[in-house]
């Protein structure tokens, strides 16, 4: 999108898909534009008029230009308004903003992706890109952890992705239907055999997950510049002007949300274990 970056474009919610009891994926068609060009890992600011604006990772494939999707957990004012609007609702969209996953740098390498809960959202466009360019990457493993089987998002996609990449799931707490692994997502790292010198690890999830997964990856021999994650901070402008999202000297909205551990080491730990 071009023009004044503070002015949202209007977008219609053309489809919603309930993922879990409190999470849904919204498909947005931006009015009067040729679609949205973005890099996996970037985010948009979505406004529910009369309620406010909030940042969401773009969760759709970058190869699909006619619409953009966001996967939203209902937690407060803006997210509740989006759920109440449903299909046909009109929202504002600014962006895309931020720095996404360094796809060109990762080409030719193995990928170890780790997602926790709804944190898998910014990995979805990357996974779709990798599958569409499967020969450009080595072994690709996705480790995904959710609280319970009911909290697993992208159930359809996970089945489709299995045909192209190695998908491994765990839930913190199983139920009578669950036959898979239980335990937090780090348990899945126990069975992973990759050469850390030829692998990039990319992760997104709650701060506590990033903290423990990063510690484990370091123990496994990953260097700090091969440990990548997407961070969340409270944001306003989304463009590096207001300072709301700063950690240390970095603007999460502009310099991130994707960072290498080497870029935020030392700045990050107190924020992750808060």
Applying CB under 6 A, the residues found at the interface with ligand FAD are 43, 52, 54-57, 70-73, 75-79, 118, 121, 232-235, 257
From the list ligand FES, ligand FAD, none, partner contacted by residue 240 (C-beta under 5 to 8 A by kind): ligand FES
Q: What is the DSSP letter of 8?
A: P
Distance CA 274, CA 261 (A): 18
CB 246 within 8 A of CB 240: no
Closest CB 183 distance from ligand FAD, rounded Å: 24
From the list ligand FES, ligand FAD, none, partner contacted by residue 244 (C-beta under 5 to 8 A by kind): ligand FES
For ligand FES, which is the closer residue by CB, 90 or 242? Answer: 242
Determine, following the binding rule CB under 6 A, whether residue 173 of this chain makes contact with ligand FES.
no
Using DSSP bridges, classify how beta strands 90-97 and 68-73 pair: parallel, antiparallel or unpaired. unpaired
Question: What are the CA-CA distances from residue 103 to residues 25, 100, 120, 136 (Å)?
Answer: 24, 8, 17, 10
Closest CB 255 distance from ligand FES, rounded Å: 9
Residues of this chain, 206-245, that bind ligand FES according to CB under 6 A: 235-238, 240-245
For ligand FES, which is the closer residue by CB, 228 or 237? Answer: 237
Closest CB 6 distance from ligand FAD, rounded Å: 17
Q: What is the DSSP letter of 251?
A: E
Residues of this chain, 240-259, that bind ligand FES according to CB under 6 A: 240-245, 251, 253
Q: What does the DSSP assignment read for 57-120?
A: EB-S-TT--S-EEEEEE--SHHHHHHHHH-TT-EEEEEEEESB---HHHHTTSEEEEEEEGGGG
Q: Which residues, in sequence order, are CB contacts of 190 under 8 Å at separation 6+?
A: none
Distance CA 25, CA 138 (A): 30
Determine, following the binding rule CB under 6 A, whether residue 101 of this chain makes contact with ligand FES.
no
Closest CB 253 distance from ligand FAD, rounded Å: 7
From the list ligand FAD, ligand FES, none, partner contacted by residue 227 (C-beta under 5 to 8 A by kind): none
């Amino acid at each position: 999108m071009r023009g004044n970056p503070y002015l949202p474009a209007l977008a219609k919610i053309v489809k919603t898909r309930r993922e879990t009891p409190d999470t849904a994926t919204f498909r947005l068609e931006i009015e009067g534009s040729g679609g949205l060009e973005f890099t996996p890992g970037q985010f948009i600011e979505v406004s529910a008029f009369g309620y406010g604006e909030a940042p969401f990772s773009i969760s759709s494939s970058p190869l699909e230009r006619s619409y953009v999707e966001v996967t939203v957990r209902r937690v407060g004012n803006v997210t509740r308004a989006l759920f109440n609007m449903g299909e046909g609702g009109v929202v504002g969209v600014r962006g895309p903003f931020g720095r996404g996953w360094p796809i060109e740098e990762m080409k030719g390498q193995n990928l170890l992706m780790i997602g926790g809960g709804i944190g898998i959202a910014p990995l979805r466009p990357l996974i779709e890109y990798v599958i569409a360019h499967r020969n450009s990457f080595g072994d690709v493993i996705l480790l995904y952890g959710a609280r319970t089987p009911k909290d697993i998002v992208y159930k359809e996609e996970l089945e489709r992705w299995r045909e192209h990449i190695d998908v491994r799931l765990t839930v913190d707490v199983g139920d009578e239907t669950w036959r898979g692994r239980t335990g937090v997502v780090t348990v899945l790292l126990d069975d992973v055999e990759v050469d850390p010198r030829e692998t990039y690890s990319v992760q997104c999830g709650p701060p506590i997950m990033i903290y423990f997964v990063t510690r484990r990856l370091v123990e496994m021999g990953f260097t700090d510049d091969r440990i990548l994650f997407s961070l969340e901070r409270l944001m306003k402008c989304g463009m590096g002007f207001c300072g709301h999202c700063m950690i240390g000297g970095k603007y999460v909205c502009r310099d991130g949300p994707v960072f290498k551990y080497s870029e935020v080491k030392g700045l990050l730990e107190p924020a992750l274990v808060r």
